[in-house]
Structure formats: C-alpha cells, structure tokens
Amino acid sequence: MEIRWNTLRQGVAEIRYSAGRQDSWRSAPARSIEFPASQTRLSYTYYRHHIVLNGLEPGAEYSYQILLDGEDLRPAERLRFHTDSREGFSFLVFGDSGTGSAEQAELARRMEREDASLVLHTGDLVYPEGSHEGYQNRYLDYYHPIMERLSFFPAPGNHDYYGEQAAPYLAFHSLPESGVKQSDRGRYYSFDWGNVHFVSLDSNLPLEAAARGDRTMLEWLENDLQSTRKFWRVVFFHHPPYTAGVHAGDALSKLARELIVPVLERHHVPVVFCGHDHNYQRTHPLRGGAASPGGTVFITSGGGGAHLYPAVTDQRAAAGESTHHYVRCQAGGGRLILLPTRRDGSYIERVEIVPHPVIAEGGVANAASLEPAVASGGIVSIYGWHMAQQEARAGRMPLPLSLGGVSVSVGGRDAPLFFVSPNQINAQLPFEIEGEVTLTVRTPAGAVSTPLHVLPAAPAIFLIEQDARKAGELVSLLLTGLGRVQGALESGHPAPESPRLPVSARVTVRLGGSEIRPVFAGLMGGSVGQYVVEFHLPVDCPPGEHRLEVVAAGRVSNSVALRVAI
C-alpha cells in the first residue's frame, strides 16, 4: 500500500500500522520532499511525505497513524485501509468533479458511505486548470475522507493539463510505474485488483503524440493487454470515443476512437469508462462503431460535480441522463454489475456485463510446437479471452472433463482438461477423434466454437536432454501428437508404466541426413497425452550440434538441436 500526505511544516514523517492488536504496531519511515512556494505558485511552502508498505496480508484491514516528529497528526480518527482480497469487490467511478460545487460536495459525502475497495477518476479533477491550489482546494479538501481508506486511481483530463502541463497532477499522485518510460510515468499505467486488470490512459499529450507518429503509449497498451492473465480488463481515460453529447466532435475523442479503440477491440476489452461529457451515457456493446454482441461497452461518467450537459442519444446509445452521479461497480466472478448512482442515492439503471468466451483466430495449437497441426490423443492449447474466471489446474488423474466451470468438446466428445484460465486452456484431444470436427468451449457465460482438423499424427517435441550425448548412447525425446496407440486406453487416463503402449503410426527419427528407427515410440507411462521416443545414436555419429526431427505418419515435427560429444 502506498500512502502520501502533505504537511505545512517540516519534520521526521513516519507511519505506524497494524492488522491486529494495539501491541503489534509497526513503524516505517517516509520519504519527504519540499515544495517551495516559488515552485507551486502558492502563498506557502508545503512538504509531501510518501511511503510504501510491503509484506501486507491479503484481504486484511489495517489501522494506521500518520506521525510527524512523533506526533499523531490525526489522533481523534481511526484511519484504516483494506488490502486486495483476491475475491469479489466493489469500486467507484466518476469524473469531471473539481469545481467546488454543492453537487460535488454532496456526491463526495455519499461516496464516503460506500463500502468499496478503490476509486477510478475519469479526469478533470480540478477546474479551471490543474494548479497546486486547485488540487488542494477542489480535490483533497473534498475527497480526503475517502482517500484515507480507499486507493484513488485517476486519469488526467484536459483541465488537468491546463496551466502547467499536468505537473501538479503528477506531483499530487503516486501511481504505478507499470513499465512506462520515465518521462511518461504517472500519465498512464496499469494495476491488478482481485480478478480485474485496470488500465488508465492519458488521452491528452500521449494521444496527440500518437497522431504525429509517436505511438509509445499505444505500444505500451498493446503489450500490457497482451501480458495480463486476468479475466476482466477495465480501461479508463478522459475523452470518450463514442458520445452523443456536447463533445461528439471533439478532436481528442476522434483520436481515441481511431487509435485507442482498435487496440481495445483486438484484446476484447469488455468495458471502458470515460468522462469529458458532463452527464451519464452508456453505449450498446460496440465493435467497429456498430452494435455487436460481445463488443465493448463504453460508459461516460462525467457528472462528478461540474455543470451538466444535455444527455443526447444516438443509435449507439443504450442509456443516458443529464445528472450528477458516480458509478458503483461490483466485480465478482464473470459478472460486472454497474449501478450509476444519483445524489439522492437512487440508481439511474442497473447494468450487468457478462463477457462471452472468445477463441482467438487460429487459437487452437499443438501444446509443444504451438503450430496449428494437432493429432488424436495429443495435448492442445486453446487461446482466447473470457474462457475461465480464474486459473484452475487438474489435481488428479484421470483428468476431469470440467474444470473451474469450463468444459471442452471436440467432435461431440468431452476433452480431458489439464488447465483453464481466462486466456488459455490446455486439454487432451480424445483418441477417437480424427478429421474435420468442431471444438467448443463452454463456460457459465456461454459457448464458443471453432472448426478443427485433427490429424492421425502431428509430432511435436517438448524437450530434449540438454547434456551432450555420446555416439551409440540411448536418447529419449518427450513429445505429443503421435496419435493413437496399440491397445486400449481411455482419454484422460494415465498411460500404464508396463506394458508400455506403442503408437500405431510409423515413426522415424531424422538426425542430420540420417533416418533412425526408434527402439520405442509410444505413450510415456504415468502421463496423459505425452509420448516418448527412444533411439540409439549411430556409433559413427560425428561430434557437434545436429538438427533432429521426428517423423510420424509422414508428418515432420519441429526441429531441435542435439549435441554429440567427442
């Protein structure tokens, strides 16, 4: 947990914190930086203190004290925070707030009563410009009771850039580095909470740079979404790509639509939050700008306190209302429930987003070679999105036919499962299946199918012994995709240690320009879908590195290196 606070006087700053009894308090020193009046355009100098508390327990409530020169600065209050529980949780979303209005204050007081874990701000934290004075008077003064217990994660708006190019915005926040280059840190970032991967983007300066050819933020976004293994990916930034409101023709909204949205669609991001238009809007699920099942839902939440704009709708809009509000979001399992909440506590609507599973184009591959050629009895990897709510691994033999609420069928037969996750499933193809078939992934949210051609054999080598071998020695290869075996074995069941089951296909080993008949080619005892090929190196095999392949039923495997010692 990162905690940051400001004081008007200098001193030795520290945090005392505890997850249990009063006698279990621990102390940690803070790092302090002076902000002189000449730097901030304030009439006073202030001091920023920052600390990172590591090694915290998950799902725990911590009490803490803020001390300066040993003095408790908030003695009358019980300060506390919760750590990530890895289970379902709630978060709040709002934007366009910092005007100092009565509506901003009323919404802030209502949000104080919410049982949430974190807050997303969609930008324009202060008006009319992002000054140090504005962040104190129209941001911290309104939200510090919430900030004392909840983590705040903002995205910069255009007003946050006015005046000082977002320098005060960056000074007032401590945001994840997330592999972002030094000059852009704090402008965009990502973090995980529970089963959600959150991404905050800067639709101002970095987006304008992208339009000029500097795609640094977009390339970071592509890599970031590619890397996450979370079921949910929630993206938020200021300028809405799709809005029917006042900012429908905004140049930065147009750039967001042209440059950011295609990246989000490639990675099947289910929901995006924006601000900028001072109202509430929700689109239908969109793909390519048109309504499409399984597309991205765009939420505009710009009613945090600034003067309101009319909520105009168009063919993409599913709902809209010109009202001050915030959005309460409940993330749990495979459902995200959105409750946009007015100042009086009533809901504008109740929305439930349930992403359907998606198999990537060409997303079924041989688990050893990652090539599209797959065979009966072999292990395959299925890649996509929203295929399982959490990672789950088979903990027993025979392998289960359902894991984490997910099942896979191939040609009408259930496939045994090794592993499921939001983006990948590992399964064994049934021995009985061959030819043109349909592979179907079934989840609690729905099913998705793709055509698949299952070959009699599609050899692929997992690994080879790394130590150099001598001429004449026995070499063992671990593979998958050698197809059916001689003898009865039910799919998903481990192969017997004895007698070993040889494959039906003719198998040879290619070593350089030579072809070698193996001593044995068949299932590896005690395993599922794994095969072993054993062969003797020729006695006249010269030393050095040789390329090795396995041929089964006329199909050639991936190539690996075999080192032969002198």
Domains for the chain: give ranges and CATH numbers.
1-83 (2.60.40.380), 89-353 (3.60.21.10), 358-454 (2.60.40.10), 460-564 (2.60.40.10)
CA dihedral 38, 42, 43, 49 (to 10 degrees): -90
Question: Can you list the residues of the chain whose pLDDT is less than 70?
Answer: 21-23, 465-466
Token reading at 272:
């995006």
For residue 220, give the H/E element and its range: helix 216-227
Residue type at 474? Answer: L
* CA distances to 149, 213, 327, 487, 493 from 314, in Å: 39, 32, 22, 64, 56
For the chain, what is the largest distance between any 2 Cα atoms, rounded to a whole number of angstroms?
A: 90
- Contact (Cβ atoms closer than 8 angstroms) between residue 484 and residue 456: yes
* CA distances to 214, 476, 550 from 504, in Å: 56, 19, 15
The pLDDT, as a whole number, for residue 21 is: 65
* CA distances to 279, 320, 349, 350, 413 from 312, in Å: 9, 7, 17, 20, 51
- Contact (Cβ atoms closer than 8 angstroms) between residue 357 and residue 386: yes
Query: Whose CA is closest to 242, among 234, 253, 233, 255?
Result: 253
Burial label, 63 (beta-carbon count in 10 A; 0-12, 13-18, 19+): middle
Token reading at 410:
């191939």
- Collapsing DSSP states into helix, strand and coil, what is residue 401? coil
Token reading at 31:
């790092």
CA angle 469, 470, 471 (to 5 degrees): 125
Query: Whose CA is closest to 350, among 338, 341, 361?
Result: 338
The pLDDT, as a whole number, for residue 417 is: 98
The pLDDT, as a whole number, for residue 26 is: 93
Full DSSP string of 142-153: HHHHHHTTSEEE
pTM of the model as a whole: 0.93
Taking the C-alpha atoms of residue 289 and residue 220, their distance in angstroms, rounded to an integer, is 23
The pLDDT, as a whole number, for residue 187 is: 97
Burial label, 553 (beta-carbon count in 10 A; 0-12, 13-18, 19+): middle
The pLDDT, as a whole number, for residue 467 is: 79
Residue type at 347? Answer: Y
Strand spans (E) along 373-434? 374-375, 379-385, 392-393, 407-410, 413-414, 417-420, 424-428
- Contact (Cβ atoms closer than 8 angstroms) between residue 63 and residue 20: no
Token reading at 253:
């909204």
CA 459 to centroid of chain Cα atoms: 33
The pLDDT, as a whole number, for residue 340 is: 98
Kindly give the residue spans of alpha helices, DSSP state H, lying in 237-282: 251-255, 261-266
Specify the long-range contacts of residues 221-226, CB closer than 8 Å, at least 24 apart.
221/188, 221/260, 221/263, 222/263, 222/266, 222/267, 223/179, 224/178, 224/179, 224/190, 224/199, 225/197, 225/199, 225/263, 225/264, 225/266, 225/267, 225/269, 226/267
